[in-house]
Amino acid sequence: MFKSFSLAGFVLGFYGWLCCISYMRLAEKEIVKKSELESVLHESLACRLGLCDESGVYIVPMNFGYCDGELFFHCAWEGRKVEMMKNNPSVCFECDVFDKIVERGVACSWMSMYRSVIGWGSVVFIEDESEKRSALRCLVKHYNPKAKDVFSKKNVDSVCVFKVVIEKMTGKKA
């Protein structure tokens, strides 16, 4: 998985493993239905990807699309994010939907009403032109369901497209 051993990689891997076997302290706040988890993914405007390599942990907010149980993204062909994913395709992601602030007495008693999803998965870079078009269509439809999905060959070739194959998701509502 890593090109060489690193303490940061070991710690993140161990922590990811630990998270996968942990439970939510307040069970009544856990989102367990797949349809509710997917609702958060469909309503969220950004997906934060957590990446790790020898230099440490990196998190980046991205535009995304969610279709058929997978997350789709696009970016430039070069840069820190792409290099990190090539060296370690294991990622963590987070999406959330903020609903409102509930004011109760003093400010320390206020509460945020939100829904969030945290998940783990593996990055797969998409090379095939028709698969890239499908992924880009998913991404565009996430933000504008009425948008036309006309992508020139030049547009498709110029962008790096990848998906996250989701292995586990957990959700919380407050």
Residue 76, phi then psi, degrees to nearest 5: -70, 160
Count of beta carbons in the 10 Å neighbourhood of residue 164: 25
CATH of 7-173, one of 3.40.50.450, 3.40.250.10, 2.30.110.10, 2.40.390.10: 2.30.110.10
pLDDT at residue 1 above 50?
A: no
Per the CB < 8 A criterion, the answer to whether 86 and 162 are in contact is no
Which helix (H) or strand (E) segment is 97 a member of?
strand 90-102
Q: Give the pLDDT band (50/70/90) at residue 160.
A: very high
Domain locations along the chain: 7-173
pLDDT score recorded for residue 148? 84
Check whether 20 has a pLDDT greater than 80.
no
Residue 92 has pLDDT above 70, yes or no: yes
- Write down the pTM of the prediction: 0.82
**Does 2 score more than 50 pLDDT?**
no
Nearest Cα to 39, choosing from 171, 164, 174? 171
Average pLDDT over residues 23-48: 88
Mean pLDDT of the 164-173 span: 95
* pLDDT (tens digit per residue) in 107-120: 888 888 899 999 99
The pLDDT of 153-165, averaged and rounded, is: 95
Contact of 97 with 34, CB cutoff 8 Å: no
| Mean of pLDDT values over 155-173 | 95
Digit-coded pLDDT (tens) for 61-79: 999 999 999 999 999 999 9
Mean pLDDT of the chain, nearest integer: 87
Q: Residue 24: its pLDDT value, please?
A: 62
